[in-house]
Structure 1
Amino acid sequence: MKNYIEFSKEVQQAKHNSQPIVALESTIISHGMPYPQNVEMAKNVEQIIRSNGAVPATIAIINGKIKIGLESDELELLAKSENVAKVSRRDLAEIIATKRIGATTVASTMICAELAEIQFFVTGGIGGVHRGVEHTMDISADLEELGETNVTVICAGAKSILDLPKTLEYLETKGVPVIGYQTNELPAFFTPDSGITLNSSADSPESIALICKTKNDLSLKGGIVIANPVPKEHSLSKTYIDKIIKEAVKEATNKGISGKDSTPFLLSKIVEKSEGQSLETNIKLVENNAVLGAKIAVAFTQL
């Protein structure tokens, strides 16, 4: 593994000192937001994690290495470069072997985090079952990874461009706990409201950390989803965003856009149709997840 994994100085020091570490994905930087908002968001999220007592580890593929933590110049390279590969499980070996620049999705970030022995991972929203799955069979590899890989993912639920009831059902089939943070309802990314009731909820980072420790003690494989609603003051109304999403999905269908191109296309269309409001909400929900993720990692380390 030493041939493939390279830690930043900050992360290396944190591991040496047994400090809490929180992984961050990089697709949100290369494919989720335009420059320079992507770099500003990435640096700000890293700082939020530090301010809450943990060490950030943004993960990406650069020059044949899995980078666990990015230096400033590497972050800029990822944010500015064209043709950055979107790397999921199926792409990981190829992008490393060919020494291309790759941004990690939820699935590949989970793989890399587990290889680096990092248990907690903050993102915006997980992938899931796409709308119209009965015709396309389009299901994100994130869900399979959550069934296999022992990483706790702190997110604002699944992206609301997806079929949320089917996504939750898939996670249930895989035995993945979905725990609402101070909510009994599955958050719908841009809005806290989905109308879908969760089986589990937790009121504090400490109680979530204890669940994670107990799961480890029992050697139960697979991940945990911590569903953290976007704060009300930064959310979009369900009616408003649902209308925009339906229009974007229809446009993607008409243009024949599917697979891994689907999510970036839909999110960019939603930014356009919401006149930038969705981008602001996206940034705020990631920041909110970073606060919670750091607190859980700190509580877990104390256990």
Structure 2
Amino acid sequence: MTTRIDTRFAELQKQGRAAFVTFLMAGDPDLDTSLALIKALPKAGADIIEIGMPFTDPMADGPAIQAAGLRALKAGTTLKKTLALVQAFRRDDDATPLVLMGYYNPIYIYGVDKFLVDAKKAGVDGLIIVDLPPEEDSELCLPAMQAGLNFIRLATPTTDDKRLPAVLANTSGFVYYVSITGITGSGSADSAVVGEAVERIKRHTKLPVCVGFGIRTPEAARDIARHANGAVVGSALVDALAKSLDNDGRATASTVGAVTELVRSLANGVHAAQQAAE
């Protein structure tokens, strides 16, 4: 079964360029602004959109994304409302792939079977669940794949050749390579080291490899896009959003523009990698 993610990577391969993947937290700083932001991302240059599912205990997230999750929860964002956000986005855009990213607990509480039916119906294409290892594939990964959703796995600098086959076994859509050890938003990616890591992963899989963590500038995005099939940016966008809010943490007239402006410049960085390679 071909998903929107598969289709998008096939299109980009024909164009000879990497994907620009953006991350924002659902409901940050409120649901209306969040929808306006997500709707604006494709026009600004995002090829694939990751949407965070807010959770009270986000152990792998750095301060910026943790704060985004807290703002979203304070605004009343639930998993049900996150799926409604996807559904609202799909009314105008049936092509851009959407990936939900987060932790297993909210899905478990929602009910796995119900969640998969509702996610598929809303227009979700893939899942990245950071706290479910391959040993627990029967919990969500296998049912998600049967439901026609891509299950995207994370590989890290500490995922050695012995561990990689297990990580890749039921992965689909793309592999998300975390370029630095530690939490999101810390450090910056070294493109030469990333290049070697991407090559190593590609020896084990035909799937596209996207690289995230530590990409904050158009130059960094361009350097990563030269080595990988996609560059993922999250913390930098969430930071731009946070800086645009008023003293009470509410959206201002500049919020959507602050994020889309940065998305545009980062997308130009990714596109420059294609031009440099030609």
**If the length of structure 1 is used for normalisation, what is the TM-score?**
0.36
**If the length of structure 2 is used for normalisation, what is the TM-score?**
0.39
Q: Taking CA–CA contacts closer than 8 Å with sequence separation of 6 or more, which of the two structures ends up with the larger relative contact order? A: 2
